Every structure is written in structure tokens, then in C-alpha cells.
């Protein structure tokens, strides 16, 4: 007993209880602020922009939390909240909380507003740099897009801009001719060395003089010997003349070839001008896609916005899991180490919101909806996320409906689909095209729209059809614009309604947008002549600009060719000298040993 | 901290049971090595308060072992992960995973399991080593240390004044 008393400290038990109670008391006092701080810290880290919360309140029975004034900044627009939630209440399954699982049975989000303005910037410095880099990249991409065919045809890029960004066939040809001329010059410099030199010609003359002087002596032996010498000399000269003639023929052939290449230059300039005019002005093919050009940028922006937000919300649907020896390894967010998940008798995800009812306040009224089964572990739950939002009798809209299923049950075979419809949307002053060159505004009109979007694995497909009726379209700046702009403006003003079909196909990172509309036909017929005029004008300007740009190089080529004619003069001069020597020689030959008469 | 070390030295130099100091240090090793907010640590705190172990040794040990645990975390993670992914132990883990209290204990976390296993394996050897160490210290080292020049310098230091003041306080009580 004494030994036991030596080891047991009963006061310690009391101290433990007091400490535990004190800890729980302190926790209860500060827990609201702890929750607020945690939501703000983790939310900001996850979103990349400030997340703020006015107040958090914890209730112990039943265990639940209510959050008031939750604001999440739009990471792309720091002076705007992406979402603002007036009040969020939810109850938490206590038994699962002990198993480190957050299971929310029911959640209600009241007064949800999107895109509300902020008084102070919600940007955080670490993400500012990343966004700047992204914006720079986008800007660069934008510049390329404006230079692509079919875009910006209303005001094509300047001739200088086009020539800066394009490779010209003319320039390539000039370089090729220049190097050809240089090569030929070098070659002919070498070949001239093989022609009979002045020294050799002088030698011929000396030999003739020698023969003439020895013949004057009248010695019959000398005469016979000289006859043989004359024959040999004549053979040599004739051989040289023949060689020189062959050289001249070869030169003429080369020269003619080079000359004909310079003629090709004119054809290349013309071809470059035509090709680039076709590329940067509205072609016959482009005429059938006017709508794509007009509203394409807007559709591209909408598409990019949707994809960006889908990617941001993706961690809510599926998390990266690693497997080793058949067990699942999950990296928890808040503590070190790796959590290993084993087979459970009643498996449940680590985080789950079974049901959330949401009411979104828009300027048109309230759109109510519900979301079921929000979890990053759909593979464990075995159910996809399903959401439905509806709004009826709103201001300026008859009805809105949005329904979607985000199925990540099988991570290797995900399938997300969403369909939406919007009926009787009253339009007032909606910009159809934000282009500075051709701003198109629908002053009044009614839009009915429906669409389907699906993402199966990496494969994205979206089809949207919108119908505009009772429309009044206004275009500004028509009087100042080109004749093409004027033609489009006049056609658009008389249109009362049209339909547009938008199709997106590809992957999230690389998709193609195609837009078709009955607007194309109407516009195409009215702007055909204007487009042809624009093409001719651009071609003419490009032709002159290419000539101006390459004029100096063409001049150099012509000078080079002229220089080569000097080589021809040398060859003809040598041939003339040799012919003159031959003509001035005594005529005669040995014929069967008989002496033939010759004269000087 | 100075007071804490002084108290520990006083206990070391006193006639108190060496087991109380060794046990406190071994328990502090478990709390220091494993993540603080683990279920087993509540149980350890209860033991530390109810059993007559040396509290100064426990607190000092907790500080030292926490620092050491921070350095050894990668090793704990490695050991824990090896154990949790071992196919031979799969049946045991599956069974434990379905017991609520063990899930609260978070045994399936690599750092929790790795550090707990290492500290439990070291518990008895460390207990024995410290015990023997204290006894030898009291028998041989203490007398020798008191004679050294260093001990004389320490005796003249502020630290020794603190030590003395605690000793006299205890004596007056």
C-alpha cells in the first residue's frame, strides 16, 4: 500500500480534470474566432484571393456552424467578389467528426450574390505575379489571334504589320538569286583562266613572224619546214577558237538562266501580294462566317471564363490519390504525413455535403437551387454531384433552368454534363460585338437560349442555340468606317431576328469554337462587293510595299548581272584576237605531199 | 527554463527515486515525438499527473524530444508508411481501421504511427539507460564533478544562485 501511495498522486487527477475543463472552456470561448480565422486562411490559400468572413457561430447541440457575410474575391478582378453569401448554416454529423470526417447533412446558403463590388482590393501579393504573367501570356496570344485569317478583317492590319509577321516568297527568291550570281561569278572567274591568255596570243603572233622571216630567205628546206609549222599553228589556233566559242556558249546559257530568274521575281512579288491579301481580307470562304468573326471573341471569352472556374472548382469533385500495395494514400491538408485509407465496413468520404440549398440573388430576382453530394471522394460515396437551379417569373426573364451531373465516381472515366435553358430574356443595350471597328448593340430584343455541355474525360463538347426575336440592332461609327463596315452596319440595322448556333469541341486546354447563324447569308450577300474592293486595295498596297522593301536588293541583282557581262566581253575579245590571227595567217595545207599555193 | 534545469539537477542530486525521473523522460519522449494533438497524448498527460513522476523532467524532456521529433519527422513518416503499406500487416490495419477509437487515434497517419512505434520501441531501453545513468551519476560523477574547476565556476554563477534559492525555498517549506 505504501509502495502504491509512493507512486500515485491523487491531486494529479484533480489537476487533470481542472486542466481539461479549462481547456474546453477556453476552446468554447475562442472557437468562433478560430473557425473564422481557419475559413479565411484556408479559403484565401485555396482561392488565391482574399476570403473574408464577418462572423462565425458554433452551436454544440446539434453540432452546427452558421457563417455570416462570407465574401470570396474574384482572383481575376480584385475589386470584385466572385461570390458573396449572406448567411450559410449547416449541421455536422458529430460521430463522423471523431473519425476526422466532415459530413454535412444539410446546408443552406441564403442571399448568394455574384460579382458584387468590393471597397478594398482582395488581391494577395503572391498571386499578383502569377496573374500578371498569365495576363502577359494572354495578351501575346491576343496579338497572334488578331493576325490570324478571318479575324479583324474589318480593319486588316497595316501593310507594314503584315510584312513584319509574314515570310515572303520574294525575299527567299532574292536571296537564292544573289547566291546564284555570286556562285556563277566565282565560277566564271576560274573559267576565264582556262581561255587562251594574252601571252599565248602574243606567242602565236611571234611564231607567225618567225615563219615569215625564215620563208623570205628562199631556202627550199626552210619553206618545207615552215609549211609544217604553219599547219601546226593553225591547228592550235583553231582548237583555241573552238574552245573559246564553247565557253562563250556556256556563258550565254548561264547568263540567260540568271536573267530569267530575275523575271521570276516579278511573278513572286505579285504572288506574295495576292496570297497575303487573301489571308488578311475577307475571302469568299470568310463571307460565310461573318457571325463567327463578329461574336466569336465574346463566345471565346465566355468559354474561357467557364473553363477557368470549372478548373478552380475541380478539387471539390476529385482529389489526387496515390496507391501503394493496394491501399490508398491521401495527403491531408492540415497535418504532416500521409493518411492511408483501408477498407471500411461502411465507407464514407472525408468531406461530404449531402444536401445544400442555395438561393442566388440576381438583379432579376431570386434563382433557387439545390446541390447534392459535394465531395472530392465520389469514388467512395458512389454517387455523383447533382445540381439544379430554377428561376421563374423573374424581372426581364420568363424562366431559367440549369441542371447538371458531375460524375467522378470512376476517376479514370469522369463524365460531367450540364444542360440549361433560358426563356424570354429581355435585352436592352446588350453588346453583341465589342469590336472597336464594328460595335454592334442589340438595343431591344428577346432571347430564348438552350444548350448542353459535356466533358467526358478530356473530351469537351458544348452545343448552344440562341434565338433573338423582336430585335432592334444598332451599330455605331458606320459613317466613319470602311465601305465594308458601312455595308455590314446597313445590313445589321434592318435585321429583326436571327439564330446563332455555337459549338465547342476539343479539350479544356485546346478547343475549337464554331459559330453559325442565318445572319451569315444575309450579311454575305450585302458585303460581297465591299469585300472584293477591300481585297483589291490591300493587294495593290502590298504589291507596292513589297517592291519598295525589296527594291534595293533587286537593284543589286541587276548590277551583279551587268558585271557578269564584263566576262562575256573578255571571252569575245579573246575569240576576236584569235580569229584575227587565224585570218591573217598564210593559207595552205599539205595534200598528199603536194605543195599548195598560198598567199600572204 | 533556467529554473526548470535547476530543478532537474536538484532532483538528480537528491535521494528521490530515479525511476520517477526516467519514467517522466520516457513519457515525454512519446509526447514529444508524436503529434501533440493525438488521442494517446491525453492518456499520457493523465498518467504524468496521476503517477508521481517528476514534472520538471517531463516538461524539459518534452521540449527536447519535440525539437528532436521535428528533425526526425521524415524518418517517422518513412517508417509509418512502410508499416501501413506492408501487405503482411494489411489484415491488422483493416481491422483497426474499422474501430472508432483507433480511428480517432489516427493510427493510419504515417507520422503518427511511425513516431508512436519508434517511441514505444525506445521506451523500455531508454527507461533502463536513464535509470542506470542516474544511479551512476549519483555514485561516481557527482562527487568528481563537485571537485572540478568547472563546478567551482558554476557555483559562482547566476545559475547556481537560482539553484540555491530553489533549494532554500524547498527547505523552508
Lowest mean pLDDT among A127-131, B31-35, B139-143: A127-131
- Residues in A 294-333 with any Cβ partner in B closer than 8 A: 324-327, 329, 332
Q: Is A270 or A46 the better-scoring residue by pLDDT?
A: A270
pLDDT tens digit sequence for A308-365: 888 877 777 777 666 666 677 766 543 468 888 888 887 888 889 999 999 988 888 8
Q: Are residues A134 and A246 in the same domain?
A: no
- Position A148 scores a pLDDT of 35
Query: Which pLDDT value is given to residue A332?
Result: 53
Q: What pLDDT does residue A401 have?
A: 94
Torsions phi, psi of A410, nearest 5?
-105, 105
Residue B170 predicted with pLDDT over 60 = no
Our CA-based measurement puts residue B149 at a distance from the nearest CA of chain A, in whole angstroms, of 38
Residue A112 in any domain: the answer is: yes
Is A467 domain-assigned?
A: no
Smallest CA–CA distance, residue A321 to chain B, in Å, is 14
Provide residues of B within 8 Å CB-CB of chain A.
17, 35, 45-46, 48-52, 73, 76-77, 80-81, 84-87, 90, 93-94, 97-98, 100, 103-104, 106, 108-112, 114
A593/B contact by beta carbon, under 8 A = no
Q: Using the beta-carbon criterion (under 8 Å), do A336 and B73 form an inter-chain contact?
A: yes
- Is A274 in the same domain as A176? yes
Residue B143 lies in a domain: no
In a domain, B84, yes or no: yes
Which residue of A342, A345, A347 to mutate against B (max B Cβ within 10 Å)? Answer: A342
Contact A340 B98 (CB under 8 A): no
Alpha helices in chain B (DSSP H): 2-13, 18-33, 39-50, 55-84, 90-97, 100-105, 110-136, 142-147, 149-155, 158-172
- Residue where a domain terminates, one of A393, A410, A427: A410
Sign of CA dihedral A223, A228, A229, A233: positive
**Does B8 reside within a domain?**
no
The model's pTM is 0.58
Q: Report yes or no on A244 lying in a domain.
A: yes
- Asked whether residue A268 falls in the same domain as residue A330, the answer is no
Highest mean pLDDT (candidates A99-103, A261-265, A347-351, B95-99):
B95-99
For residue A332, the chain B residues in CB contact (below 8 A) are 109
The answer to whether the Cβ–Cβ distance between A335 and B45 falls below 8 Å is no
Is it the case that residue A472 has pLDDT exceeding 50? Answer: yes
Binary contact (A337, B111; C-beta < 8 A): yes
* A97, A337, A338: best to mutate for the B interface, most B CBs within 10 A: A337
Least confident of A262-271, B31-40, B137-146: B137-146
Strands A590-591, A51-59: pairing kind:
unpaired
Q: Which cell numbers in the block locate residue A275?
A: 496570297
In contact, B103 and A99? CB cutoff 8 Å: yes
> Which residues have CB under 8 Å from A129's CB, separation 6+?
none
Pairwise CB contact (< 8 Å): B108 & A340: yes
What is the model's pLDDT at position A325? 67
Structural domain that includes position A129:
43-146
Q: A373 in a domain, yes or no?
A: yes
- Cα separations (Å) of A432 from A121, A449, A484? 30, 15, 18
Decide if B80 and A341 are in contact by the 8 Å CB cutoff: no
Which tens digit of pLDDT belongs to each residue from A421-469? 999 888 888 877 766 667 778 888 899 999 999 999 889 999 999 998 8
- Within a domain: A107: yes
A551 pLDDT more than 60 = yes
Specify the residue for cell string 457571325.
Answer: A291
Indicate the angle between helix axes B18-33 and B55-84, nearest 10 degrees: 40
Do B103 and A15 count as a contact with CB atoms less than 8 A apart?
Answer: no
Is A365 domain-assigned?
yes
Structural domains in chain A (count)? 3
Q: How far apart are CA A429 and CA A148, in angstroms?
A: 30
- Give residue B74's domain range: 17-137
Domain final residue pick, A362, A385, A410 = A410
**Residue B10 resides in a domain:** no
| Tens digit of each residue's pLDDT (9 = 90 or more) over A52-69 | 999 999 888 788 889 999
Q: Is residue B155 part of a domain?
A: no
Question: What number is the ipTM of this complex?
Answer: 0.75
CB pairs under 8 A between A and B: 94
Query: Is the model's pLDDT at A480 over the cut of 70?
Result: no
Q: Which site among A328, A340, A341, A344 would you substitute to test the B interface, given the most B Cβ atoms closer than 10 Å to its Cβ?
A: A340
The closest of A420, A506, A381, A382 to A455, measured between CA atoms, is A506
Residue B75 included in any domain: yes
The label of the residue with cell 446546408 reads A107
The answer to whether residue A303 is domain-embedded is no
Q: Which residue on chain B is closest to A322 by alpha carbon?
A: B85
Would the pLDDT of A264 be above 90?
A: no
Inter-chain residue contact A340 with B81, CB threshold 8 Å: yes
Of A410, A441, A475, which residue constitutes the final position of a domain? A410
Q: Answer yes or no: is pLDDT of A281 > 60.
A: yes
Query: How many domains does chain B divide into?
Result: 1
B97 contacts in chain A (CB < 8 Å) = 341-344
Does residue A142 share a domain with residue A168? no
Contact list, A345 vs chain B (CB under 8 Å) = 98
Residue A560: predicted pLDDT:
87
Among A142, A163, A135, A2, smallest CA distance to A548 is for A163
3-class DSSP assignment, residue A288: coil
Q: Distance from B54 to chain A by nearest Cα, in Å?
A: 11
pLDDT at B25 over 90: yes
Give A549 or A299, the one with higher predicted confidence. A549
Is residue A344 in some structural domain? Answer: yes
Q: Is the pLDDT of residue A196 over 60?
A: yes
Chain B positions touching A327 (Cβ under 8 A) are 84-85, 90, 93
What residues contact A259, with CB distance under 8 A and at least 6 apart?
A561
Q: Say yes or no for a CB contact (<8 Å) between B111 and A341.
A: no
d(CA A549, CA A162): 13
Q: Which three cell numbers stand for residue A58?
A: 458554433
Kindly state whether residue B127 falls inside one of the protein's structural domains. Answer: yes
Which of B46, B97, B109 is facing A337, going by the closest CB pair? Answer: B109
pLDDT of residue A597: 43
Predicted confidence band of residue A141 (pLDDT cuts 50, 70, 90) = very low
Does a structural domain hold residue B152? no
The verdict on A334 touching B (C-beta cutoff 8 Å) is no
pLDDT at res. A600: 39
A97 touches chain B (CB under 8 A): no
Is residue A31 within 8 Å of A56, Cβ to Cβ? no
Q: In whole angstroms, what is the distance from residue B143 CA to residue A408 CA?
A: 73
Residue written as cell 462572423? Answer: A55
Write the residue in A16, A339, A345 that is nearest to B109 by C-beta. A339
Residue A588 pLDDT more than 60? Answer: no
Residue A170 and residue A131 in one domain: no
Cα distance between residue A344 and residue A354, in whole Å: 19
In this predicted structure, the answer to whether residue A407 has a pLDDT above a threshold of 80 is: yes
Is the domain of A277 the same as that of A166? yes
Residue A205 and residue A256 in one domain:
yes
Q: Given a cut of 80, is residue A261 above it in pLDDT?
A: yes
> What pLDDT sits at residue B76?
93
State how far residue A137 is from chain B, nearest Cα, in angstroms: 39
Amino acid at each position: 500500500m505504501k509502495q502504491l501511495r509512493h507512486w500515485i498522486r491523487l491531486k494529479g487527477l484533480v489537476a487533470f480534470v481542472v486542466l481539461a475543463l479549462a481547456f474546453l472552456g477556453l476552446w468554447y470561448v475562442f472557437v468562433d474566432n478560430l473557425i473564422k480565422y481557419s475559413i479565411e486562411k484556408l479559403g484565401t490559400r485555396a482561392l488565391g484571393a482574399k476570403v473574408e468572413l464577418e462572423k462565425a457561430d458554433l452551436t454544440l447541440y446539434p453540432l452546427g456552424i452558421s457563417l455570416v457575410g462570407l465574401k470570396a474575391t474574384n482572383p481575376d478582378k480584385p475589386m470584385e467578389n466572385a461570390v458573396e453569401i449572406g448567411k450559410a448554416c449547416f449541421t455536422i454529423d458529430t460521430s463522423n467528426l471523431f473519425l476526422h470526417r466532415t459530413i454535412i447533412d444539410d446546408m443552406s446558403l441564403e442571399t448568394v450574390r455574384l460579382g458584387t463590388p468590393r471597397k478594398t482590393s482582395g488581391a494577395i501579393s503572391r498571386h499578383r505575379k502569377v496573374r500578371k504573367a498569365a495576363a502577359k501570356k494572354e495578351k501575346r496570344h491576343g496579338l497572334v489571334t488578331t493576325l490570324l485569317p478571318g479575324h479583324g478583317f474589318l480593319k486588316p492590319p497595316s501593310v507594314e504589320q503584315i510584312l513584319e509577321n509574314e515570310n515572303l516568297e520574294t525575299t527567299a527568291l532574292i536571296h537564292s538569286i544573289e547566291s546564284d550570281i555570286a556562285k556563277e561569278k566565282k565560277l566564271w572567274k576560274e573559267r576565264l583562266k582556262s581561255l587562251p591568255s594574252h601571252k599565248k596570243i602574243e606567242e602565236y603572233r611571234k611564231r607567225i613572224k618567225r615563219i615569215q622571216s625564215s620563208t623570205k630567205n628562199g631556202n627550199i628546206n626552210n619553206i618545207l619546214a615552215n609549211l609544217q609549222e604553219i599547219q601546226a599553228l593553225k591547228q592550235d589556233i583553231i582548237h583555241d577558237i573552238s574552245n573559246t566559242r564553247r565557253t562563250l556558249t556556256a556563258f550565254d546559257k548561264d547568263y540567260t538562266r540568271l536573267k530569267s530568274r530575275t523575271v521570276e521575281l516579278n511573278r513572286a512579288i505579285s504572288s506574295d501580294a495576292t496570297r497575303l491579301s487573301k489571308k488578311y481580307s475577307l475571302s469568299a470562304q470568310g463571307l460565310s462566317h461573318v457571325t463567327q468573326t463578329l461574336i466569336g471573341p465574346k463566345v471565346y471569352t465566355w468559354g474561357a471564363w467557364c473553363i477557368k472556374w470549372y478548373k478552380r472548382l475541380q478539387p471539390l469533385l476529385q482529389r489526387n490519390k496515390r496507391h501503394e500495395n493496394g491501399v490508398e494514400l491521401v495527403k491531408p491538408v492540415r497535418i504532416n504525413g500521409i493518411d492511408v485509407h483501408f477498407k471500411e465496413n461502411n465507407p464514407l468520404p472525408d468531406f461530404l455535403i449531402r444536401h445544400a440549398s442555395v438561393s442566388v440573388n440576381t438583379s432579376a430576382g431570386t434563382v433557387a437551387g439545390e446541390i447534392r453530394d459535394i465531395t472530392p471522394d465520389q469514388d467512395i460515396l458512389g454517387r455523383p454531384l447533382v445540381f439544379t437551379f430554377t428561376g421563374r417569373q423573374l424581372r426581364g426573364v420568363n424562366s431559367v433552368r440549369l441542371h447538371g451531373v458531375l460524375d467522378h465516381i470512376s476517376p479514370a472515366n469522369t463524365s460531367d454534363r450540364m444542360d440549361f435553358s433560358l426563356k424570354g430574356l429581355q435585352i436592352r443595350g446588350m453588346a453583341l460585338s465589342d469590336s472597336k471597328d464594328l460595335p454592334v448593340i442589340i438595343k431591344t430584343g428577346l432571347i430564348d437560349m438552350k444548350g448542353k455541355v459535356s466533358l467526358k474525360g478530356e473530351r469537351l463538347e458544348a452545343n448552344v442555340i440562341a434565338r433573338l426575336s423582336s430585335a432592334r440592332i444598332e451599330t455605331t461609327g458606320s459613317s466613319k468606317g470602311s465601305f465594308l463596315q458601312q455595308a455590314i452596319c446597313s445590313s445589321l440595322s434592318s435585321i429583326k431576328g436571327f439564330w446563332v448556333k455555337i459549338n465547342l469541341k476539343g479539350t479544356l486546354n485546346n478547343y475549337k469554337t464554331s459559330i453559325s447563324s442565318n445572319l451569315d447569308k444575309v450579311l454575305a450577300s450585302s458585303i460581297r462587293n465591299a469585300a472584293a474592293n477591300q481585297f483589291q486595295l490591300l493587294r495593290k498596297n502590298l504589291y507596292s510595299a513589297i517592291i519598295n522593301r525589296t527594291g534595293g536588293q533587286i537593284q543589286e541583282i541587276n548590277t551583279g548581272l551587268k558585271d557578269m557581262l564584263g566576262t562575256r566581253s573578255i571571252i569575245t575579245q579573246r575569240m576576236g584576237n584569235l580569229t584575227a590571227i587565224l585570218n591573217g595567217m598564210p593559207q595552205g595545207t599539205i595534200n598528199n605531199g603536194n605543195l599548195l599555193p598560198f598567199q600572204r | 527554463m533556467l529554473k526548470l534545469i535547476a530543478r532537474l539537477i536538484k532532483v538528480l542530486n537528491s535521494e528521490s527515486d530515479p525511476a520517477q525521473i526516467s519514467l517522466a523522460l520516457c513519457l515525454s519522449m512519446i509526447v514529444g515525438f508524436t503529434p501533440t494533438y493525438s488521442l494517446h497524448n491525453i492518456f499520457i498527460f493523465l498518467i504524468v499527473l496521476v503517477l508521481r513522476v517528476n514534472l520538471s523532467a517531463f516538461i524539459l524532456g518534452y521540449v527536447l524530444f519535440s525539437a528532436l521529433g521535428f528533425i526526425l519527422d521524415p524518418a517517422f513518416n518513412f517508417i509509418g508508411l512502410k508499416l501501413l503499406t506492408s501487405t503482411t500487416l494489411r489484415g491488422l490495419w483493416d481491422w483497426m481501421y474499422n474501430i472508432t477509437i483507433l480511428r480517432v487515434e489516427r493510427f493510419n497517419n504515417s507520422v503518427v504511427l511511425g513516431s508512436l512505434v519508434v517511441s514505444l520501441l525506445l521506451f523500455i531501453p531508454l527507461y533502463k539507460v536513464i535509470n542506470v545513468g542516474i544511479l551512476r551519476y549519483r555514485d561516481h560523477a557527482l562527487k568528481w564533478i563537485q571537485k572540478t574547476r568547472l563546478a567551482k565556476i558554476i557555483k559562482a554563477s547566476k545559475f547556481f544562485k537560482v539553484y540555491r534559492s530553489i533549494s532554500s525555498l524547498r527547505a523552508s517549506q
